[in-house]
Amino acid sequence: MISIDLEEAPRGGDLVAVTREKTDRAKATRIDDVARAAGVSTATVSNVINETKRVAATTRASVLDAIERCNYYPNAQARSLASGRTRIIGLLSSDFASPLFPELVKSFEMNAFERGYNTVLLNTNYDPHRAADHVRRLIGLKVAGVALMTAKLDPGLIHELIGRNISVVSQNLDKVSEHMSNVVIDYAVGVDEAVAHLASLGHRHIVHVAASDKPDGTNVRRDAFLESVARHVPNARTAVYEGDFRFESGQRAAIEILAAAELPTAVLAANDMMAFGLMKEMRKAGLSIPRDISLIGFDDTAFAELSEPALTTVCLSRAELGRRTVEALMKNIAQPGAQGKEVRIPTYLVKRGSTAPPRP
């Protein structure tokens, strides 16, 4: 849309470059080069690299030396063609830019890396066609496993993966099965902490701004909220407002809440964005948080600790989510044919400045 490629930048030393080209590009070194350099067979080199067989210490040393000298990097394509496995795992998501993902992706990649795996990233952008294409690519790539961090995926596609012996870890799916584990985020514990916190501050009139992730109408957070309120707050007054996770829906919910006969003393929003919307609208209405009303969010997005007041919020450790997802994948890969597991990631409350006792 703007700006164009500049003209080619000036460059010195053409001759040198050309020479280098002739040297470096002269075919990458292969396992036979190393074998020759070490005076052994390719089988031995392979065994040294993969530690697949006992190799005499001296042979081993000279092979390693030869690898070093030749500046040898094994060809991953050839390796996996021959061995039938790859060291690649996929991470499929609907939207990498959504708040939870950046850190999750980072943690996922780092954990995979440490186990010798590379991560390929796939963003479906909520498009089922794209998702199907992505799955196809993953199969073509012969990935060892895939983490499906997307809202919902055609079960047929999942089968396609499982059937090809690719490990799958899904998020918040209901069932595990052979070769397929499930990471479930345990919203209930965090919600319970939040409600208990409000109850202990003395709140008796707490409302929830819900937003449902599942299309089937079930809503884990809302249900947990209602259940927790019933448990922690005797004679509670409560209500549930509907939002859609977006800032604006938080604002709309605030307007509804303000229009109600009696103002609640605390609000639990299903995510931070809506909480920020609530915050803005309530401030506009002249209310002070937390003096007039307490507010709790969900997700612990980057801004939660910077907002005015800093937002009390329920969150989960993205690092843990990433790590345990990779672990689950690895477990499935290591034990093909075994039954998948269910991994629960707890959520917890982070207390900040947006909650206080209700006005007397």
Residue 55: contacted member of a copy of itself, DNA, none (CB under 5 to 8 Å, by partner type): DNA
Binding segment (CB under 8 A) for a copy of itself, from list 87-95, 197-205, 254-262, 287-295:
87-95
Residue 115: contacted member of DNA, a copy of itself, none (CB under 5 to 8 Å, by partner type): none
Residue from 229, 214, 219, 216 nearest 296 by CA: 229
* Cis, peptide link before residue 215, omega less than 30° from 0: no
Would you say 218 or 335 has its CB closer to a copy of itself?
335
Interface pick for DNA out of 59, 165, 212, 317 (rule CB under 7 A): 59
Residue 148's DSSP bridge partners are 92, 170
According to the binding rule CB under 8 A, does residue 303 interact with a copy of itself?
Answer: yes
How far apart are alpha carbons 169 and 163 in whole angstroms?
A: 14
According to the binding rule CB under 7 A, does residue 52 interact with DNA?
Answer: yes
78 class by beta-carbon count within 10 Å (0-12 exposed, 13-18 middle, 19+ buried): exposed
Helix (H) or strand (E) holding 93: strand 88-93
The owner of tokens 């060291």 is 87
Backbone φ/ψ region at 190: left (φ over 0), alpha (ψ -120 to 50), beta: alpha
According to the binding rule CB under 7 A, does residue 74 interact with DNA?
Answer: yes
Angle, CA of 46, 51 and 53, to the nearest 5°:
85
Interface pick for a copy of itself out of 32, 43, 65, 163 (rule CB under 8 A): 163
According to the binding rule CB under 8 A, does residue 256 interact with a copy of itself?
Answer: no
Binding segment (CB under 7 A) for DNA, from list 40-48, 150-158, 173-181, 268-276:
40-48
Binding segment (CB under 8 A) for a copy of itself, from list 128-136, 215-223, 225-233, 258-266:
128-136
- How many residues bind to a copy of itself according to rule CB under 8 A? 83
Residues forming the site for DNA (CB under 7 A): 27-28, 30-32, 39-47, 49-50, 52-56, 58-60, 72, 74-75, 78-79, 81-84
